Amino acid sequence: MTTRRTLLFALASLPATVGSTQTSASSLPDGFRGALDATDFGVRPGKRSDQSGSFRALLAEAAKRRLPVFLPPGDYRLSGIVLPDGLTLAGTPGATRLIAADASPLLTAENLARLTLTGLTLDGDGRTGDVGRGLLDLDGIEQLTIDNCAITGRTGGHGLNLGRCGGRIRDNDISGAQGVGIFAVDSRGLSITGNTVSDCGNGGILVHRSQAGADGTLVSGNRISRIASLDGGTGQNGNGINIFRAGDVVVSGNHVSDCALSAIRANAANNVLISTNQCLRSGETAIYSEFGFQGAVVTGNVIDTAANGISIVNFDAGGRLATVGQNVIRNITGIGPYVSDGAGFGFGISAEADTVVIGNVIEQVARWALVLGWGPYLRNVSVTGNIIRVAQLGCAVSVADGAGTALITNNLFENVENAVLGYRWTERATADLVDGATDAFPHLTVTGNRRV
């Protein structure tokens, strides 16, 4: 007699149904049990033809049933894929490759609540993409997760282009974009962490806003290298990390090397925190906070080899309110990538308004280790407890008409031609003021410094 128990045992011993629309549990990584089987929709690795039609059907079913999609290792040639809301699309890192079949963005999405991409390689296949768009082009994603992916092979446009997105971009490898590796505009609480960005034509990681305002993006723990400036200019291109009009951004713990211009450039970015970054072999100023910003903290960074070290400037455009402390700056070459229309290159730290410069070590500088003010653009700058060694000049301070207050105290100068000199623009206007001979310049306090 067949009992209920024996019937259950018999059913359990049967093989999985042929043609099941879900991938067998044994073939999936942890976290993707019950994912759709791509082969049931005609999506197969290694096919030479464009599989976009079958792939769209797969994604439509996944969205309808709210199931993840796992793609087995192999190559999938696709074009113009629009991703649905709630999708989780996963592959095997380094082995699941989505290859662009034409010059349009490979994957796009717009106005979604949630999207997750993991373990995928997106390959532009050497095609020239649209300027201003990305191989992965996303807009208005509230909770976006992209992790353990690679984006490569694009000879035009950006690698990852994001607009109005929040979420996490982490542990990805992005290389070879002719434009920018990661371009994020008008973000909403975005984190960009642990990525490797290299060999890009005009920028590494860019965090911009269409209008100045709070942004709050975190850019931390990334490795950025070999960033060119194919489109030229004097700062808009060629930067490892560029913050533009985006307030409340944190840039910390990044390793940035071999950028045509700046390792880190913040332009009109209020309340920016730039801390504990490694900035190596920058073609222009290693770290910039410039133009109409209010509030910048630049602390604990290591700068080795650059045309300039750290610049906190453009008081003429409202740039003010900063601290620059505990940085190590060395090997400032004075050799820039263009002809400067200002003071030029070869400075360790430049500061103009409402700024404290404290506890920095500056060594081997082509021209001036410290530059305080520019013409009349000097107000409330305090320079205390810094060590300067091996420089043409220790500290240049503006004594031009209209220059404001500067305090230069308790700094140590070694192996410099002059410790403290007053300048009117680029013209030397004083003898060495290291001993406090500032009677002719009541806006200056120079005391407690030592030259050895």
The rounded distance, in Å, linking the Cα atoms of 414 and 369 is 11
Task: Give the residue among 329, 322, 387 at the shortest CA–CA distance from 359.
Answer: 387
406-409 and 387-398 strand pairing: unpaired
Q: Specify the residue for token string 């602390």.
A: 299
CB 52 within 8 A of CB 81: yes
Average pLDDT, the chain: 92
The predicted structure's pLDDT at residue 127:
84
Pick from 127-131, 265-269, 345-349, 416-420: least confident: 127-131
Confidence of residue 435 (pLDDT cuts 50, 70, 90): confident
The percentage of the chain sitting over the pLDDT mark of 70, rounded to a whole number, equals: 93
**Average confidence (pLDDT) over 331-344:** 90
Task: Give the residue among 95, 97, 93, 31 at the shortest CA–CA distance from 67.
Answer: 31
DSSP state of 414: E
pLDDT per residue over 400-410, tens digit each? 999 999 999 99
The predicted structure's pLDDT at residue 129:
78
pLDDT per residue over 102-141, tens digit each? 999 999 999 999 999 999 999 999 988 788 899 999 999 9
Q: Specify the residue for token string 């940035």.
A: 256
Q: How many CB atoms lie within 10 A of CB 152?
A: 19
Inform me whether the pLDDT recorded for 34 exceeds 90: no
Label residues 315-328 b or e (16+ Cβ within 10 Å = b): beeebbbbbbbbbe
The rounded distance, in Å, linking the Cα atoms of 125 and 127 is 6
User: Is domain 85-451 annotated with CATH 2.160.20?
Assistant: yes
CB 204 within 8 A of CB 181: yes
Inform me whether the pLDDT recorded for 18 exceeds 70: no
User: If 0-12 CB within 10 Å is exposed, 13-18 middle and 19+ buried, where does residue 387 land?
Assistant: middle
Q: CB neighbours of 391 closer than 8 A, spacing ≥ 6? A: 348, 362, 364, 365, 367, 368, 369, 415, 416, 417
Inform me whether the pLDDT recorded for 342 exceeds 80: no
pLDDT per residue over 364-390, tens digit each? 999 999 999 999 999 999 999 999 999
- Please give the single-letter amino acid code of residue 310: I
